[in-house]
Amino acid sequence: MANLNQNHERGQWGSKLGFILAASGSAVGLGNLVKFPAMAGLNGGGAFVLVYFIILFLVGFTLMLAEIALGRYTGLNPIGAYRKISKKWSWVGGLGVLAGFMILSYYSVIGGWVIKYLVKSVTGGLNVSDPGMLGDAFGAFITSPGEPIFYHGIFMLITMIIVIKGIGGGIEKSTKLMMPALFVMIFLIAVRAMTLPGASAGIRYLLVPDFAKITPGVILAALGQVFFSLSLGMGAMITYGSYLDKKTNIPQSSTIIPLIDTGVALLAGLAVLPAVFAYNLDPNAGIGIIFNSFPAIFSQLPMGGLFSLIFFVLVLFAAVSSSISLLEVCVSYVVDEWKVKRLVATSVIGVALFLIGSAASLSLGAWSDFKILGLGIFDFLDYGSANVLLPLGGLLLCIVVGWFWGTDNAIKEATNNGEVEFKLAGAWIVLVKYIGPVAIAAVFIQKIMELLG
Ligand code: PFF
């Protein structure tokens, strides 16, 4: 049965697998391949991974189900969806659309860096075994005024073309191609890294928790990462849920998507940390790990150039399958609410994103003196969206779904009026009404203080 509010510009997923791949495509992104290994490196390895898992099961699954159910019930973009619950909540959806816009503007700049490094691995420019030299080249590139903006433009254009083609013909079709390829590639890279001599120290670091390292800071870092990685708190899953038919099993989908996301994050950790340990590099190098440490390692391996290439194609696929969901959130709002054609909405939003992203890119170099609340444009967009708007959106989602829409209504939607099984319904109610809001409030307050302090 089609959604009541279905119109021609909206569209619908062609199959259940298509939805699962598109939603996991949204979740699996730079957050898994770059942020997760880097954060595990920074926050005590196994300790971080253990806490991440606990939060994932408590909060990740809970919010995933809440967002998808709310999206399918309303058949609308985040603003329309919240408004349908009650007029006074539509601003919560507005915060989500704003978060999506902010994240995509700088996400696309990083996506551009990935394209540049993909080109570099083809032309042999990464054939350098000294991570220090690669680091200098990376620093010079991202702070330069022209090239990063050019590549950011290309990344944005790819994202726009897919979104213009719509739900079935663009997002679903492209993620059906990219995601299986991504799974194979990450597996290849992880196996290669884990079989390097000396890799076991990295595997141990990632998987064996040292309980003494579980501090409040580690817990809060893991909570923030769960949000970003699962694309929660801004209505991306509300939007994707709004294109679902009424037969899809929501409790099952809400379990599979976080599992896929976490599987890829773990594989990324198993690819990056063993390699970094095997070559005595710094596990705390942050984003530098993928642009500098990793290529330096590959350059010393037989067929290293090929592995570098596979690695950057993989990161690009992950980034694009996420960026299309970020853009879709903004486009669905304009298409639903302003009754504008998808092509026009995507083009106008895409150009605006290109301009703001260009400013973000310049803020790493020529415009580095310009500050908003003490942060450069790039960092402001990142902190303000990922660390403030997403947790706030998640908190409000729990409140609206748990206390206003009502858990009975939500469960009715999620189980297709009782047709599919939802064994954990009782636990879900406690999580969405009490545990979720309290846990998120803790991270949110900490992030706000960080921003102000
Ligand atoms: N989940 C994506 C990642 O891990 O890179 C980022 C993201 C996509 C966040 C979509 C939020 C979102 F709505």
pLDDT at 8: 54
Q: For 263-283, write each residue's pLDDT tens digit.
A: 999 999 888 888 888 887 877
Residue 249: pLDDT above 80? Answer: yes
Confidence of residue 220 (pLDDT cuts 50, 70, 90): confident
Tell me the percentage of the chain whose pLDDT exceeds 90.
64
Average pLDDT over residues 67-92: 96
Q: How far away, in angstroms, is 188 Cα from ligand 1 center?
A: 24
**Does residue 31's CB lie within 6 angstroms of at least one atom of ligand 1?**
yes
Q: Residue 102: CB partners within 8 Å, gap ≥ 6?
A: 381, 384, 385, 389
**Range with lowest mean pLDDT among 183-192, 235-244, 355-364, 435-444:** 435-444
Angle of CA points 439, 451, 239, to nearest 5°: 60
Q: Which residue has the CA at smallest separation from atom 13 of ligand 1? A: 231
Residue 358: pLDDT above 90? Answer: yes
Listed by start position, the domains of the chain span 4-452
pLDDT at 127: 83
Q: How far away, in angstroms, is 69 Cα from ligand 1 center?
A: 19
Residue 343: pLDDT above 60? Answer: yes
**Does residue 240's CB lie within 6 angstroms of at least one atom of ligand 1?**
no
Residue 388: pLDDT above 70? Answer: yes
Q: For 3-43, write each residue's pLDDT tens digit.
A: 444 455 688 999 999 999 999 999 999 999 988 888 888 88
Query: Which amino acid type is present at position 2?
Result: A
Q: How far away, in angstroms, is 244 Cα from ligand 1 center?
A: 20
Count of H-run helices and E-run strands, the chain: 23, 0
pLDDT at 73: 97
**Does residue 27's CB lie within 6 angstroms of at least one atom of ligand 1?**
yes
Q: Which residue has the CA at smallest separation from atom 9 of ligand 1? A: 231
Tell me the percentage of the chain whose pLDDT exceeds 70.
97
| Stated length of the chain | 453
**Does residue 36's CB lie within 6 angstroms of at least one atom of ligand 1?**
no
Q: Residue 375 forms beta bridges with which residues?
A: 372
Residue 2: pLDDT above 60? Answer: no
pLDDT at 412: 96
Query: Which amino acid type is present at position 223?
Result: L
**Does residue 236's CB lie within 6 angstroms of at least one atom of ligand 1?**
yes
pLDDT at 3: 42
* C-alpha–C-alpha distance, residues 242 and 245, integer Å: 8
Find where tokens 């915060």 sit: 95
Residue 365: pLDDT above 90? Answer: yes
One-letter-per-residue 3-state SS of the chain: CCCCCCCCCCCCCCCHHHHHHHHHHHHCCHHHHHHHHHHHHHCCCHHHHHHHHHHHHHHHHHHHHHHHHHHHHHCCCHHHHHHHHCHHHHHHHHHHHHHHHHHHHHHHHHHHHHHHHHHHHHHCCCCCCCHHHHHHHHHHHHHCCCHHHHHHHHHHHHHHHHHHCCHHHHHHHHHHHHHHHHHHHHHHHHHHHHCCCCCHHHHHHHHCCCHHHCCHHHHHHHHHHHHHHCCCCCCHHHHHHCCCCCCCCHHHHHHHHHHHHHHHHHHHHHHHHHHHHHCCCCCCCCCHHHHHHHHHHHCCCCCHHHHHHHHHHHHHHHHHHHHHHHHHHHHHHHHHHHCCCHHHHHHHHHHHHHHHHHHHHHCCCCCCCCCECCECHHHHHHHHHHHHHHHHHHHHHHHHHHHHHHHHHHHHHHCCCCCCCCCCHHHHHHHHHHHHHHHHHHHHHHHHHHHHC
CATH for 4-452, options being 1.10.3470, 3.40.1010, 2.40.50, 1.10.4160: 1.10.4160
Q: Residue 372 forms beta bridges with which residues?
A: 375
pLDDT at 9: 63
